[in-house]
Structures are given as C-alpha cells and as structure tokens.
Chains A and B, each alone.
Chain A
Amino acid sequence: MSYAIEVCDLVKRYKTVTALDRVSFTIEEGEFFGLLGPNGAGKTTLIRILTTLIKPTSGRAVVMGLDVVKKRAEVRKVIGVLPQAMTSDLDLTGLETLDIYGRFYGIPAMERKKRIAQLLELVGLKERARDLVAAYSGGMRRRLEIARALIHMPSLLILDEPTLGLDPQSRHTVWELLRRFQDSYNLTILLTTHYMEEAESLCGRVAIIDYGKIVALDTVEGLKRMVPEKDTIELSITNIGLDRAEAWIKTLSYVHSCVIRDDTLMVSVDNGARMVPVLVDGLRGLGARVTRIILKEKTLEDVFIHFTGRPIREEESRKVSFLIGAGVPLKWSR
C-alpha cells in the first residue's frame, strides 16, 4: 500500500514556539483525512511544510512518494493546495485566474481551455467567469480558489481551513463540492479545520492536533468510542411522578444512569437514537405523557474536550508588531 502522505517525527520550532512537536501519521491514497485543532495548534505550519513553503526543523515528510525538502519542485507539480488565506488576485477575472495558473503549471492551451470550462461548471462560476474576483462573494472566491487548486489535475488536494469565515450556506456548498470532487476524481484530500461539524461531516479519519501534537487519530466513530461519556436523553413528563419513571428507567439494561435534575429526567445511554422510542413507548405504557425530549449525542467536541481537557477555542489573538503593523520582519513579531 502506498501512502499519499507520510509524516515522521516532524518538528517545527520558531524562536520561542514549538509549532509542531514530533508529529507522525500517514494518509492512504483515496482517503478524506481531517486535521482538527484550534487556532494556533500548528495546522497551517504542518500544511506549509507538506506543501514545500517552509522547511521543518527536523523530521521527514513524504508526499506522493516525494520528500518535501529534497524534491520541492516535483512535489509542487503533484499537489493542489488551497491556502488558509484568500489568495486570488482581486483585479483579475475568474477566467483569467484559472488560465494564468494553468500556465504556471505549463498546461497546453487546448487542454487548459477544456479543463477550465469543466472546473468553472463544477464550482458553479460559469456565469461569473468574466467578472473581476473583486466582485465575488467570499464563498465564490473560495470556490474559484478550489478550482484553481485543481487546474493541473493533482491526485492529492490539500486544503487549509477551506470554509474559514464563510457563512453557513457557503460552507455547505463547499462541503458538497469537496465530496463531489473526491468521488469523481478519486482524490486524496487532506483538510484542516477548527469546525467540528466540518470534520465530522466530511472526513473519514480525523487527527486531533493541539499545541503542535497529535493527541488522537481515528475514524470519527472510533474517536467517539474512545470517549467514556455517553449520549444523553433529557425527558420532561406529566401525569406520573418523576420518581416512578426514574425507577422504571433504571431497570432497563441499556441505561447507564438516570438522574432527576429540576423537572427533567437525564438518561445516559450508549446509543441515544435507538433508545428514544423505547423510553417513550415505555413511559406511555406507565400512563405518562412525554412533553419534551432532547437527545444530546456525543460529538467531536466531546472528543476534543476528552483529549485536551478544554473546549475548542474560537479565536486566539496573535501579536502584531507595534512598530509598523505587519511591517516588521516576522522574526521580531509574534
């Protein structure tokens, strides 16, 4: 079995920060792999090393069989990358952008034209292809950049927070697009994100990264299984006493615990979805009327909390130079 990506003991240190701390993992061809972590976890650093933009302090990374330090030029030819920031030129049109990038890869004119038409169609920008990117919405711009990353038909697509800053609707469009691309082009996809739902709805396997370390790696299901917390069903009932209901519930074999909190029964079970009808039917049988049900399934959030001891943070402020904004060399700032 050949690996699309093989990372071995990768370390990246900036002056005081260890952005990546002995990271190792492999991604097989055809996988949809997610790297989930909060801001500052080291996701972008890892992506930049894998895509030849920065050199690791130590360790090894091989992409499509090519060492990312020794074979930079070759690596660039076989990967398609969507950087975290929006990187399309505002004063070019969508069509020009794709054409120019096609030429950066040396794709002959005929093939380029065919490919561009196809991609524009797929990302839904055919109608707007001749408009300046400056006139695009954030979601459109992102879709154009995904098309751009695929212009040379790479077999590996690497996306750094593809839906960062997009509204929910655009986010779903992008997800749909990525699923479609993976199916029809047999792509291997590596995606980083700090959105739980994104990793959960797209990725086969997910690595959780925090402070430069991979703290867990498995399928979404597998990760959830590792977490001792269960699904929780909250029930509100009338007609019969809560005590009676509690006593009955506790006799059920799949139930781990049942407690009364205020006017609500909190039932902890392994598989919430399967237990809901059982509970409702049983309570009805006892003469109760169920007025409210809330099912709280385990999420990657719980997984994240389990492995890191805290919820995924939203924003971590980054120091910017006080001398001249972004103007001071990176060495001095941060």
Chain B
Amino acid sequence: MIRFLAVVERDLRKFLRNPLVILVSIVMPVVYLVILGNSLQGELRNITVAVVDMDRGPFADRVIERLYALQAGPGTIMLVRVADQGKAMEGLKSGRFKGVLIIPTDFSRDIMRGKNPELGLFLDNAETVSADTLRMAITGAIGEIERDFLPVRTRTSIPSVREVNLYKKVDYDQSLIPGVVIMAIFLGTMTTGAFNLVMDRFLGIEESYFLTPLTRYDIVMGLMVSGLIVTTVLALFVLFASSLISGIYLWKVLTLHGFVLLTVIIVLSTLGLLGLMFIIMGRINHPRIVGVLGGFLNVIFFFPSGAIYPVESFPWWLKGFAIVNPETYSVHALRAILFKGADIEAVKGDILFLSVFAVVALLIGILVFKRGL
C-alpha cells in the first residue's frame, strides 16, 4: 500500500509542477465549446429567401407576416420580396437566394374552400444544410397559420412540423457541454496515466523504478489512480466553466443526487479511457507517436459519440462503432443528468456499460504492461 501510494504521489507531484499543462487542459475544452458552438450552430441564420406573392389574398399576407416574424425573431431567414417569378428563380440559380417561396394565385381561395393549400418552395439543394433548415422553418411558420385560422377539420392538410430541437430549453451551446466534458476527460486520460509511462520510457527513467520492489500492479494502479484524480478534477472544472459560459448555473440546476451521479459517470468514463490508453500506449516508447495517435483517437471517439450529431442519424457501420464506444454512453448519461434531470434509473444502462468497459480495459491494460526493459 505504501509503495502504491508513493507511485500516486510521485505522479501527482510531477503533474502539479507543470501548471501550464493544467491550465491548457482546462482551457482547451472550453475553447472547443466556444468554437464548436459558433461554427456548428444548431440554427442557421440569415438565409436569404425570395417571396413571390401571386395571390395577394389575406392568407398570403398571413404567410408573409409569419415569415417576417421569423426574420425578426430567431433571424433564420432574410426575406426579399420579388414580383417576378422568373427573376426569383434566376436569383436562386445564381446563389443570391437560398430559397424561393411562391404563393400561387388561388392560395387564399383554396384555403377558404377547404381545399389543400399549396405553396411552392424551391430550394438550393447544393447546400443541404441551409435547404433543410429553410424547409423546416417555413413549414413550421405556415403550420402555425393553419392552427391560428383554420377549423380543425383542415388539420389533415397541414404539412407535418418537425421541431429543430427536441428539448427546446437547451440551446446549442449548452447541448455541447457533455461533449466538451468528455473531450476534457479524453485529454486528461491521454496526458496522464499511460502517457507517463511513455515519457519515462522515452527518457529512460523507468529503469530506476523497475529496479525497486514495485510490482506491475503498484505501477499501473498507481498511475491509474493519479490519472483518475487529475482527470476527474479537470473534467469537473471544465463542466463548471463551460456551463457557466453557456448560461447554466449548475448549483441551481443540479441536485446533490444529480451531482454525485454526474461525478460517478465522469469517474467511470475516466477509468475506462485510462485503461484503454494503457492498452494502446502499453508498449509505445516515443511521445511523438502518442501525439499523432491522440489527435486521431480523439476524433474517432468524439464524433461518433453523439456529442454533436445524434447517433440515430449515423450509417449502420458507424452506429455499430458508437455502440461499443464508451464516450457514447458518457455523453448520453451526462446529457440525461444535466438537461433532463435524470436519476440513476435513467442512466443505469450507461453506468453498467461504462463499469464493464472500465474493468475490462484496466485488466487488459495491466496485462499489456511490461515490467522490464
């Protein structure tokens, strides 16, 4: 026990002697949040749409009014009134407009007669993202018109409305928080634990403690525990900081129960990744390889975890990977606890997977480690 604790202390002391590393480990994930949050915005803004009103009836006015509301409110679209249909289509082709909405001549009359109203929406399909957003925004806006003005029986004629966000209170910056936390955990586990072995091997320092009575368990478990302490603290810091800058006050949102649960998820995720790093880096003897591998692995684990895009939308093979990717479960659990106030019941599947993963990874990690030159 005394030996194992000495390994932990050696590692922690060395870590604390590098304050810059600590700072960077906290700041980097938070910067990620800001950059990701602003470059992959959930809702696009200022998509230029041309409107050609050939109806000039009351319902056409309603539609246009709604679209102006969309422009003034969320700012998704920027409306340009165009009188001539041909000009509008030309603008679409040239890229001046991302979409053209045509209100046909009999639009208002059709609605009053209870016929299926039809609008023509032409989209620039070369830009799928903005096309999708436009389609959703405009069908959404028009759907509301129907609700406001039409009797129930015409409901069938309303285009179905898909919501942009499933949980409306969460805006995009905030929904990235679980991903940012898991990224902090990844960075933490990559620069502690097994990485210290690689460094010692590279510097030829390992020889000195291989000469002592330390066992392989002392060494691996010691590095594991110090890595766990460091990474957990970092991850909690990052969670706190990123919540704060995206406007969540954790102390108001989280119950003690929730906080404990959150910490459990962070600890289990950390242990699993630490074990994984021991497996991967177990025999590497140059930090440069870790650098190359680290960037690669980060992306490989991060993007298919559902941190940014929902797992459901992946092709089957990537879904398959997401199922065995521990980060998927971490992200799922963190999201559930942070935004849906989930209790242990809701995340017990995640906890089970992460626990099993951690145990298996740690065991293999210890086996892979070679105590000798």
User: Which residues of A does B touch, CB under 8 Å?
Assistant: 48, 51-54, 73, 76-77, 79, 81, 83, 85, 87-89, 91-92, 96, 100-101, 103-106, 132, 145, 148, 324-327, 329
Contacts and interface: CB of A to CB of B under 8 A. Distances in A.
Interface in B280-316: 283-286, 288-289
A104 B6 contact: yes
Interface residues of B, number: 31
A324 B286 contact: yes
B211 A83 contact: yes
A52 B208 CA distance: 12
Contacts of A325: 286, 288
B17 A132 contact: yes
B129 interface: no
Interface stretch (B199-207, B326-334, B356-364): B199-207
B23 interface: no
A177 B9 CA distance: 30
Interface string B190-231: 000000000000101101111111110000000000000000
Given A87-B207, A327-B286, 15 more contacts: A48-B373, A53-B210, A53-B373, A87-B205, A91-B14, A92-B17, A103-B2, A103-B9, A104-B7, A104-B209, A106-B3, A132-B17, A145-B208, A324-B286, A329-B285
B14 A89 contact: yes
Contact of A326 (B14, B208, B211, B286): B286
Contact of B214 (A48, A91, A104, A329): A104
Contacts of A327: 284-286, 288-289
A92 B213 contact: no
Contact of A87 (B18, B208, B288, B373): B208
A51 B211 contact: yes
Contacts of A106: 2-3, 213
B10 A92 contact: yes
A50 to B, nearest CB: 11
B372 interface: yes
A101 to B, nearest CB: 7
Closest 6 pairs between A and B when the two form their complex, measured CB to CB: A327-B286, A103-B6, A87-B208, A91-B17, A104-B212, A85-B204
A76 B3 contact: no
B5 interface: yes
28 contacts: A51-B211, A52-B211, A53-B211, A53-B372, A53-B373, A76-B213, A79-B211, A81-B211, A83-B204, A83-B208, A83-B211, A91-B14, A91-B18, A96-B10, A96-B13, A103-B3, A103-B5, A103-B9, A104-B7, A104-B209, A104-B214, A105-B3, A106-B2, A324-B286, A324-B288, A326-B202, A327-B285, A327-B286
A92 B289 CA distance: 26
Contacts of B215: 73
Interface string B224-244: 000000000000000000000
Given A53-B373, A324-B286, A88 B208 contact: yes
Given A91-B17, A324-B286, A327-B285, A77 B213 contact: yes
Contacts of B212: 76, 101, 104-105
Interface string B1-40: 0110111011001100110000000000000000000000
Nearest to B211: A81
Which of B213, B214, B286 has the most A CB atoms < 10 Å from its CB?
A: B213
B373 to A, nearest CB: 5
Contacts of A148: 208
B286 A85 contact: no
A145 B208 CA distance: 9
A152 to B, nearest CB: 8
A329 to B, nearest CB: 8
Contacts of B207: 53, 83, 85, 87
A83 B205 CA distance: 9
Nearest to A91: B17
Contact of A100 (B10, B211, B285, B372): B10
B90 to A, nearest CB: 57
A51 B208 CA distance: 11
A92 B13 contact: yes
A104 B3 contact: yes
Contacts of B13: 91-92, 96
Contacts of B288: 324-325, 327
A83 B7 CA distance: 20
Contacts of B3: 103-106
